[in-house]
């Protein structure tokens, strides 16, 4: 045993030596450190920069005594109970329902023709930014929305919009529904990636040959293997749903709003002392999310333990297995609602007069496009530039980290960097509002607020995890023997990397770039907090217009917000298809 520890210690030292000062210096070794530094620095500094004011220390506004006064004021604030209630209702329900629906849809429909259709629709569904979708959904389900117009006045008798709270309801149900519609496609995408690592076809075959109904095979054999691979995306959905701001501003309750929105208000209050309460609120939200992530993990283990005997009870059929139509209905609802939201945005953007209860506009016009476009150009281009820069930098860092990981595993080195690279996922699990204020304070002190550098950097923090998440599995599964053959033939490992590996992986690399770009486009708070008012992106403009502008102007902005990721997703899909149109084996 002692020898084992000694060997492991020697291996660690060898690993560190190799990484830091080894003679065979590996140029890739810097990528994990660079990547982690790019993350840890802003997150740790951001958290500290938020926690210090939470305890009363913010010298810039003259607060330099450590005190618990902010927490006392926070806990006594009349909006806090309501804000916490709507946060928990929307965040927890959206996560649980999204997870349930994505697994339900997969278990029932995987391998069917409709599943292939769902796979094809995922990219456009994901391309629609949350804010644009929420606005489209508002046009659909609001009291003056299209659904009520469709049946009015004929069936409802309404000649004016009814006084119903179908959006911005106090229990945050509309916010929950909006998040479900957006998170189900995300979890389905993650599920597809995870399923590629399992031998589903033959697992289902073995299960069914043992006499089990297909649904039972999924519940007992596939999902227990699948879920551990989905854990991180699910926790990311949980953290996001509990701390979302832009969606909540558009479709969430306002009196009081969810906690993240309330904190954002405090941070931007003209009364500077409110920043201390905001920081205390941000710390509370951080604790709430950490607590529920812990609860989720504990519950997951308890459920696994309690259901284990059922796995072996030998029952081959279940009534639930005959409910395929409900899965089809759920998938159709997600797809058609998203499609309808997009259609309504398009319709509103060209509507001249569209009074209630008309189901369609009386006159169409491009007036609001021509009026808005000159104002949109700058935020549109800013968003594109930041999105492209952060996505490209992130791709380079991720490729470097993954290549380094490969290099270390070939060298049989138990890589510390390989494990610590998991830190990349931190920004997905920590609420943005929990550390953005700290980052804002720090970039202000460093005099880099409102610069391209700080803006791209802060976007990179959120873009990189998603790129890692979408690319890592495919990249790790790549058959490295192709590179070996190419290196032997060409005599250059760099040549074989770029001319063989990167080219063969064009499709997943471009797709993850598109995902990263879409994530950057959707960033609202990071742009506001670090942009220092000098940068407006299409997203910040769309969200700020959402609260009270003309529906037609909002529709034009929301469509432009959708246009950017849609273009990049389309390129990511069509470019490899075009480049490799005569290469049968490159199609998968």
Partner 1 sequence: MASGSVVQEQAVNEKLTDETMSLILDSLQINLGGSELFSPVSLTVEAGQILTVMGPSGCGKSTLLASICGNLDPGFSLSGTIQLGDRILNNIPMEQRRIGILFQDDLLFPHLDVFGNMAFGLPSILTMEQKRERINSALAMAGLSGFERRDIGTLSGGQKARVSLLRSLLAEPEAILLDEPFSKLDKQLRQNIREFVFQQITKLAIPALLVTHDADDAPEGNILELKNGNYHA
Which structure tokens are listed for 494? 């760099």
Which structure tokens are listed for 330? 């759920």
Taking the complex as a whole, how short is the minimal distance between the CB of residue 313 and partner 1, in angstroms? 6
Taking the complex as a whole, how short is the minimal distance between the CB of residue 446 and partner 1, in angstroms? 49
What distance in Å separates the CA atoms of residue 538 and residue 522, rounded to the nearest whole number? Answer: 9
Buried b (16+ CB within 10 A) or exposed e, 341-360: bbebbbbbbbbeebeebeee
The residue (of 308 and 499) whose beta carbon lies closer to partner 1 is 308
The residue (of 322 and 492) whose beta carbon lies closer to partner 1 is 322
Q: Which of 108, 220, 501, 551 binds partner 1 (CB under 8 A)?
A: 220
Backbone angles phi, psi at 374, to 5 degrees: -60, -30
* Residues 6+ away with beta carbon under 8 Å from 444: 60, 532
Does 326 help bind partner 1 (rule: CB under 8 A)? no
* Beta pairing partners, 351: 364
Does 301 help bind partner 1 (rule: CB under 8 A)? no
The residue (of 479 and 550) whose beta carbon lies closer to partner 1 is 479
Q: Which stretch binds partner 1 (CB under 8 A): 232-240, 289-297, 306-314, 548-556?
A: 306-314
The residue (of 113 and 255) whose beta carbon lies closer to partner 1 is 113
* Residues 6+ away with beta carbon under 8 Å from 409: 415, 418
Does 324 help bind partner 1 (rule: CB under 8 A)? no
Backbone angles phi, psi at 481, to 5 degrees: -65, -25
Which structure tokens are listed for 487? 């290196």
What distance in Å separates the CA atoms of residue 421 and residue 36, rounded to the nearest whole number? Answer: 7
Q: Which of 170, 224, 339, 450 binds partner 1 (CB under 8 A)?
A: 224
C-beta of residue 437 within 8 angstroms of C-beta of residue 279: yes
Of 87-116, which residues contact partner 1 (CB under 8 A)?
Answer: 113
The residue (of 116 and 268) whose beta carbon lies closer to partner 1 is 116
Does 319 help bind partner 1 (rule: CB under 8 A)? yes
The residue (of 6 and 228) whose beta carbon lies closer to partner 1 is 228
Taking the complex as a whole, how short is the minimal distance between the CB of residue 212 and partner 1, in angstroms? 6
Taking the complex as a whole, how short is the minimal distance between the CB of residue 100 and partner 1, in angstroms? 20
Taking the complex as a whole, how short is the minimal distance between the CB of residue 294 and partner 1, in angstroms? 23
C-beta of residue 496 within 8 angstroms of C-beta of residue 427: no
The 50-89 contact track toward partner 1, x by CB under 8 A, reads ----------------------------------------
Taking the complex as a whole, how short is the minimal distance between the CB of residue 110 and partner 1, in angstroms? 13
Taking the complex as a whole, how short is the minimal distance between the CB of residue 325 and partner 1, in angstroms? 12
Sign of the C-alpha dihedral, residues 103, 234, 301, 282? negative
The residue (of 223 and 426) whose beta carbon lies closer to partner 1 is 223
C-beta of residue 43 within 8 angstroms of C-beta of residue 429: no
Q: Which stretch binds partner 1 (CB under 8 A): 247-255, 316-324, 419-427, 560-568?
A: 316-324
Q: Is the link from the previous residue into 256 a cis peptide, with omega within 30 of 0?
A: yes
Sign of the C-alpha dihedral, residues 342, 348, 350, 351? positive
What distance in Å separates the CA atoms of residue 119 and residue 121, rounded to the nearest whole number? Answer: 6
Does 317 help bind partner 1 (rule: CB under 8 A)? yes
Does 117 help bind partner 1 (rule: CB under 8 A)? no
Taking the complex as a whole, how short is the minimal distance between the CB of residue 437 and partner 1, in angstroms? 42
Taking the complex as a whole, how short is the minimal distance between the CB of residue 207 and partner 1, in angstroms? 8
C-beta of residue 125 within 8 angstroms of C-beta of residue 105: no
Q: Which of 314, 374, 533, 548 binds partner 1 (CB under 8 A)?
A: 314
3-state secondary structure 493-539: HHHHHHHHHHHHCHHHHHHHHHHHHHHHHHCCHHHHHHHCCCCCCHH
Residue carrying the six token digits 């994990």: 32
Does 312 help bind partner 1 (rule: CB under 8 A)? yes
Q: Which of 52, 219, 221, 518 binds partner 1 (CB under 8 A)?
A: 221
* Residues 6+ away with beta carbon under 8 Å from 220: 207, 212, 311
The residue (of 207 and 576) whose beta carbon lies closer to partner 1 is 207
The residue (of 312 and 488) whose beta carbon lies closer to partner 1 is 312
What distance in Å separates the CA atoms of residue 140 and residue 143, rounded to the nearest whole number? Answer: 9
| DSSP-H helix ranges across 55-172 | 69-76, 80-109, 113-127, 130-141, 146-150
The 182-211 contact track toward partner 1, x by CB under 8 A, reads -----------------x--xx-xxxxxxx
What distance in Å separates the CA atoms of residue 165 and residue 174, rounded to the nearest whole number? Answer: 9
Which structure tokens are listed for 412? 């049989």
Does 213 help bind partner 1 (rule: CB under 8 A)? yes
Taking the complex as a whole, how short is the minimal distance between the CB of residue 330 and partner 1, in angstroms? 19
Tell me the number of residues near partner 1 by CB under 8 A. 29
C-beta of residue 257 within 8 angstroms of C-beta of residue 408: no
Q: Which stretch binds partner 1 (CB under 8 A): 307-315, 356-364, 375-383, 524-532?
A: 307-315
Taking the complex as a whole, how short is the minimal distance between the CB of residue 324 and partner 1, in angstroms? 12
The residue (of 265 and 316) whose beta carbon lies closer to partner 1 is 316
DSSP state of 497: I
Taking the complex as a whole, how short is the minimal distance between the CB of residue 215 and partner 1, in angstroms? 10
What distance in Å separates the CA atoms of residue 274 and residue 272, rounded to the nearest whole number? Answer: 5
Of 439-468, which residues contact partner 1 (CB under 8 A)?
Answer: none
Q: Which of 67, 196, 254, 322 binds partner 1 (CB under 8 A)?
A: 322
Taking the complex as a whole, how short is the minimal distance between the CB of residue 200 and partner 1, in angstroms? 11
Please state the length of the chain: 588
How many helices and strands, by DSSP H and E, does the chain display? Answer: 27, 4
Closest Cα to residue 513, out of 421, 575, 423, 440? 575
C-beta of residue 568 within 8 angstroms of C-beta of residue 355: no
Q: Which stretch binds partner 1 (CB under 8 A): 212-220, 229-237, 456-464, 501-509?
A: 212-220
The residue (of 220 and 275) whose beta carbon lies closer to partner 1 is 220
The residue (of 202 and 499) whose beta carbon lies closer to partner 1 is 202
The site for partner 1 (CB under 8 A) is made up of 113, 199, 202-203, 205-214, 220-221, 224-225, 311-319, 321-322
């Amino acid at each position: 045993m002692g020898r084992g520890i000694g060997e492991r210690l020697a291996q660690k030292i060898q690993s560190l030596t190799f990484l830091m000062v080894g003679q065979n210096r590996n140029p890739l070794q810097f990528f994990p450190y660079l990547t982690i530094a790019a993350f840890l620095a802003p997150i740790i500094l951001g958290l500290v920069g938020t926690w210090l004011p939470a305890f009363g220390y913010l010298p810039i506004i003259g607060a330099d005594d450590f005190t618990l006064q902010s927490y006392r004021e926070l806990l006594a604030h009349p909006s806090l109970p309501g804000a916490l209630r709507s946060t928990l209702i929307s965040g927890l329900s959206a996560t649980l329902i999204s997870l349930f629906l994505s697994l339900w849809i997969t278990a029932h429909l995987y391998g069917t023709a409709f599943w292939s259709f769902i796979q094809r629709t995922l990219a456009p569904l994901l391309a629609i930014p949350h804010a644009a979708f929420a606005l489209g959904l508002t046009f659909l389900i609001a009291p003056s929305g299209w659904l009520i117009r469709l049946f009015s006045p004929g069936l409802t008798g309404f000649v004016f919009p009814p006084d119903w709270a179908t959006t911005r309801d106090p229990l945050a149900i509309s916010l929950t529904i909006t998040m479900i519609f957006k998170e189900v496609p995300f979890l389905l995408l993650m599920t597809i990636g995870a399923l590629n690592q399992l031998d589903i076809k033959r697992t289902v075959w073995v299960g069914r040959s043992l006499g089990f109904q297909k649904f039972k095979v999924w519940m007992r054999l596939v999902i227990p293997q699948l879920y551990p691979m989905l854990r991180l995306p699910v926790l990311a959905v949980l953290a996001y749903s509990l701390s979302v701001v832009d969606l909540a501003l558009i479709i969430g309750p306002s009196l009081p709003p969810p906690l993240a929105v309330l904190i954002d208000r405090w941070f931007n209050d003209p009364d500077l002392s409110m920043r201390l309460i905001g920081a205390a609120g941000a710390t509370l939200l951080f604790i709430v999310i950490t607590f529920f992530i812990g609860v989720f993990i504990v519950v997951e283990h308890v459920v696994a333990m309690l259901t284990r005997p059922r796995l072996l009870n030998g029952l081959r059929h279940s009534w639930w297995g005959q409910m395929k139509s409900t899965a089809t209905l759920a998938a159709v609802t997600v797809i058609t609602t998203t499609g309808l939201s997009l259609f309504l945005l398009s319709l509103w953007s060209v509507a001249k007069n569209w009074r209630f209860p008309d189901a369609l506009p009386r006159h169409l016009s491009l007036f609001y496009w021509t009026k808005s476009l000159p104002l949109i150009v700058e935020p549109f281009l800013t968003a594109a530039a930041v999105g492209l820069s952060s996505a490209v930098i992130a791709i380079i860092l991720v490729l470097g980290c993954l290549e380094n990981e490969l290099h270390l595993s070939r060298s049989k080195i138990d890589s510390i960097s390989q494990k610590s690279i998991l830190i990349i996922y931190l920004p997905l699990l920590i609420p943005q509002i929990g550390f953005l204020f700290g980052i804002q304070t720090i970039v202000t002190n460093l005099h880099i607020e409102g610069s391209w550098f700080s803006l791209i950097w802060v976007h990179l923090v959120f873009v990189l995890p998603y790129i890692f998440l979408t690319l890592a599995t495919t990249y790790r599964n790549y058959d490295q023997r192709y590179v070996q053959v190419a290196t032997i033939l060409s005599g250059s490992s760099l040549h074989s990397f770029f001319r063989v590996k990167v080219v063969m992986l064009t499709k997943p690399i471009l797709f993850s770039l598109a995902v990263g770009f879409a994530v950057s486009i959707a960033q609202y708070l990071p742009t506001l907090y670090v942009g220092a008012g000098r940068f407006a992106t299409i997203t910040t403009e769309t969200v700020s217009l959402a609260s009270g502008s003309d529906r037609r102007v909002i529709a034009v902005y929301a469509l432009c917000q959708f246009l950017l990721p849609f273009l990049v997703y389309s390129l990511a899909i069509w470019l490899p298809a075009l480049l490799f149109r005569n290469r049968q084996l490159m199609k998968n």
